[in-house]
Structures are given as structure tokens and as C-alpha cells.
Chains A and B, each alone.
Chain A
Amino acid sequence: MDRELLRVENLTRTFGTGKSQIRAVDNVSFSINEGEIVTLLGESGSGKTTTARLILKLLPPTSGRIIFRDKDITHISSRKDLLNYWREVQAIFQDPFASFNIFYSVRRLLNNAFRLVLNSPSNEEREKIIRESLLSVGLNPDEVLDKRPYELSGGQKQRIMLARILIIKPKLLIADEPTSMIDASSRAGILNLLLDLRKQYNMSIMFITHDIGLAYYTSDRLFIMNNGKIVESGDAEEIITDPKDSYTKKLLEDVPVIHKKWEL
């Protein structure tokens, strides 16, 4: 319980040089425990997606450290180390349309995920695992396996990305705006599947989103990010009911809720 899984220390990433330099991520520190669900909450341009890309090793940091399971992985670069890391840290992204290579079928996409599975299973075993994981995300394998991305709806595609996660079974999942392009009526389905991942596999999840309602519904802790910095962090319930930072206060004031009407 409460064992630390990932910690970032003074993580910084700048873009450009000289006067036009932008500190997209500015001295950010936080940690995520095993089995914990957290949200990095920020508006567009806050640096939240850059932080996610740094953690995913898709982008090198300018300075700072990323520690995963007590090991400093900030500078790992060999293929073997990276593969080991991506076995444990995975992601789903905002746009389920763009997350697919339109030239390949669902079967091929899911088969690729076995690159990250140790003791590579046989073809029959793979097919079995793929079918099971599709069933657990509520899809009929026979219906989707041979389809191309453009034959599937947005919700179905995001479910397939979740099936991919079920095959890899990482310890940490970075979910970057996983439902922002999905309709309200299917959004809850995707979110509940994500919440079930923790129940079943004790997976830690880090949501990256601007949606405060989603953050509050899903997360134990929130990290509020503004202009590359984390301005407030703590228990989700506490932050929503009693925000301390002025930016958080403003944010909560501006988000439309149901039971309190705006003064306009």
C-alpha cells in the first residue's frame, strides 16, 4: 500500500532559445503511488501534455529527474532499457482517430503490443489474449478484429486502445484527455473501464486533462498546473471544496456546475 511508483523531481523542459525561450514545464515535482489515480489538471498551454511526454520518454527533459520504482530513468536511452520502461509505463491519447495507423487492422495494432510482452506467446495464445482483452473492454472480437480504424466509431477506437493496455498491463497508465473527443453518452463507459483497471490490476493512472469534472470524478489526488508550474496539489475532494491557490479558485469559479448558478 502507498508504495511510491513514480516520482519526478524539478522536471523542467524549455523550448527555443534566448528571448523567445518558453519554459513549458517549469520545475515540476510530484509523485504517484501504486494503485493511485491522479490528475494533472491544466488549461491549454499549461504544460500538462509536455509533462506527459517527458514521463513517457517521448521527449527529453532539459533538467530534473524522473524516478520510476526507485530507479533514475531520466537518461536511459538503450532500446532494451526503453522497452523495459514502456512495459511498465503506457499511454492512451486524446484523439482515438489519430492514435491509429489507418493502413492496419485492429488485429495488427493489437499484435504489435506483444512486442512489450515478456516470453513472447505463440500465435494461438496471442489471438486468445487479444480476444479476451477485447471482450473485457466490451467489444465483440469477431466484429472489430479485421476492421480498419475508419470503420469504427470514436468510442470503439478508444476501447481498442484500452484493449491494447490490457495486453501490456503496465504499472502506470498516462491517459491524455482520453474522452475529450468522445460523446457524453459513451464517455462514462470509457472512464469506468479505466477505473476498473485499478481495481483489477492495481494499475496507477495519471489523467492529463482540462476537465475538472472528470478529474474530480476519477482521481484521488489532483495536481493543478498553470504556466508550466504546479500551483496546487492534494486530495481531490479537498481541492474541489476548499481550493487554496488563487488560480485554482478562479478555475473552479469559471467551470459551469449544476447546483450553483453563475452571477452574470
Chain B
Amino acid sequence: MKDILILLFRSKRFIVGFVLFLGILSFALIGPILNPKNPFQMVGGLFSPPSDRFILGTDNLGRDVFTQLMYGTRTSLLIGCTAGLIATTIGVTIGSIAGYKGGIIEEVLMGITNVFITIPSIVILILLSIAIKARSAVVMGLVIGITAWPWTARAVRAQTSSLKTREHIDIARITGFSSLEMIIYEILPYMFSYIFMAFILQFSGGILNEATLSMLGLGPFQTVSLGVMLHWSLLWEAVRTGAWWAFIPPVICLSMTTFSLMSMNTGMDEVFNPRLRRS
């Protein structure tokens, strides 16, 4: 474990991603504590440009964009993380059972997975979002997670299928391990890094999905997220009125967050796949 961490911190990409992500995280978590303003409070004029009082200006209702950005990033991270956790949990469960059990169980589970893959997830997302009336941030994450797991399931199934031919699996079987014990003790530990990488991908995917949904006006209620900020600026024609401060900051925040996650992911890929490291 220690060796892996040492290796990880030798990868420049990982360090860049990690430091950037830590920065964004502290901005979203510590920021609101240091600067306890209400993002919904109208504090200034409509679309007033950045000034000493409002670093990033105000929006169409005279609310402080900088405060919104802190709270919005926090919500987006929460949704992304929830979505990542849900997608990874479902994906790993289905993928590892299918891969380990094989036979008819594998065919049924992978059949379901493939059905989910063929239906564009955005359609399910939109339908689900419309159907669910009380969309809190966590519910949003849940909905996104439920539509995002199939890719993880497929990848985990492939890994499990190849892992289960190893001799230590045979030893564990003739020692009387049950299928569940086999998956938990003998297979999942070997995939830990892989699963973690899948989680990071799902995390950043979740953030982007949230932004998409929110821009369509299907975002979380009673809260501000990066996507909701974009939705507002679209709705009140911030672009046309030249109020760049209302939409450029959330876009930058969004891309920096996904960039940091992706960079960590590639960095880890280099470490865990020595073949990539050499070239």
C-alpha cells in the first residue's frame, strides 16, 4: 500500500490532478465556512460586473456569483460523488457476480446490462428526473448513478472472468469458500485500484451529467449547483447581455474539476499499468 502511494506521487499527472482536486475541494468545503453568505440572498444590482464588493459580480437577481460558485461547486461535487458511489457499487456487484458465476447467471446479468447500455442514458435520466418531484442533490446523484453503472459492470465482469482462472482461486474453492466469500476476499482485492479508477471516472461523469440535466432545467431544487448556475445564465440571457461573469466561472470550475479527476485517473493508469509507464 505504501509503495503504491509512493509510486502514485511519482506520477506528475497524478500530482497535478490531486493538487487541483484538493484545491477545488477546499474551495467548496472550506469556502462557505469562511464566507458564510446565503447564495440566494439578493445583495446587489442586476448583473453588476465584478467589483471590490462582488469579486465575480452578481447575477440576474442580484445574487453574489462568487458565493454561488462555492455552494454550486459543493453541490456538484456531492452529486458527482453520490453518482460515482452508486454506479460503482451497482456495477461492481453485477459485474463481479456475472464474471465469477458465469453460465446462465452471467448471460442474464450481462443481458440486462447491455439493454441499459443501448438505451441512451440521457433519455432515462430526463424521464426519471421528470418523474421524481422532490429532486434533492442526493436524489440527483442517485438518479445519475442508476443510469451510469453498466460500463463499470462490463469492465468488472471482464476483469473477474480473467482473475477467476488463477490458482489461488482454485485453492480457495477447494478450501470451501462460498461464492460471496470468493468475490469479496479473493477477487475484489485484486481489482481495488481498478475499481477506484472506475469510481473516479464515474465521479467526473456524474458531475457532467448533473450539468447537462440542470441546464435543461431538471436540476436539483432548493439549491445551487454549477449546472443550475449555467441554467440561470441561459434563462436570463447572460450571454446575450454580455454578463460573462455569470457563466464563465461555473464553466471553468466544471472543466477544472473534471480535468483534475481525469488527470488523477490517467496518473493512476500509468502506475497500475506498467506497460504505459515505460513509453
Residue ranges of A at the interface with B (Cβ–Cβ < 8 Å) = 53, 56-58, 79, 82-83, 86, 89-91, 93-95, 98-104, 112-113, 115-116, 161
Contacts and interface: CB of A to CB of B under 8 A. Distances in A.
**Among A83, A101, A104, residue most surrounded by chain B Cβ atoms (within 10 Å):** A101
A181 B179 CA distance: 29
B175 A115 contact: yes
Contacts of B37: none
Nearest to A109: B171
Contacts of A91: 170-171, 174
17 contacts: A57-B174, A82-B176, A83-B176, A86-B174, A89-B174, A91-B171, A91-B174, A93-B170, A98-B166, A99-B167, A99-B171, A100-B168, A102-B190, A112-B175, A113-B175, A115-B175, A161-B171
B186 interface: yes
Interface in B154-190: 166-168, 170-178, 185-186, 189-190
Contacts of A102: 190
A260 B220 CA distance: 85
Contact of B172 (A95, A101, A161): A101
Given A53-B170, A58-B170, A83-B176, 20 more contacts: A56-B174, A57-B174, A58-B173, A58-B174, A86-B174, A86-B175, A89-B174, A91-B171, A93-B170, A93-B171, A98-B167, A99-B167, A99-B168, A100-B168, A101-B168, A101-B172, A104-B185, A113-B175, A115-B177, A161-B171
Contacts of A58: 170, 173-174
Contact of B176 (A56, A99, A100, A116): A116
Contacts, number: 50
Nearest to A85: B174
Contacts of B172: 101, 112
A103 B193 CA distance: 13
Contacts of A94: 167
A101 B181 CA distance: 13
B178 A79 contact: yes
Interface residues of B, number: 16
Contacts of B170: 53, 56, 58, 91, 93
B53 to A, nearest CB: 56
A93 B165 CA distance: 13
A56 B175 CA distance: 11
Contacts of A101: 168, 172, 185-186, 189
Contact of A115 (B167, B168, B176, B185): B176
A120 to B, nearest CB: 12
A113 B175 CA distance: 6
B167 A93 contact: yes
Contacts of B168: 98-101
Select the residue from B166, B171, B172, B173 with max chain A CB neighbours within 10 A: B171
B176 A79 contact: yes
| 5 nearest A-B residue pairs (beta carbon) | A98-B167, A103-B189, A93-B167, A99-B167, A101-B168
Nearest to B166: A98
A53 B173 CA distance: 12
Residue in B175, B185, B186, B189 whose Cβ sees the most chain A Cβ within 10 Å:
B175
A215 to B, nearest CB: 21
Contacts of A104: 185
Contacts of B190: 102-103
Nearest to A97: B167
A60 to B, nearest CB: 11
A86 B167 contact: no
A101 B176 CA distance: 15
Nearest to B188: A103
A91 B173 CA distance: 11
Nearest to B185: A101
A85 to B, nearest CB: 9
A118 to B, nearest CB: 12
A143 B269 CA distance: 35
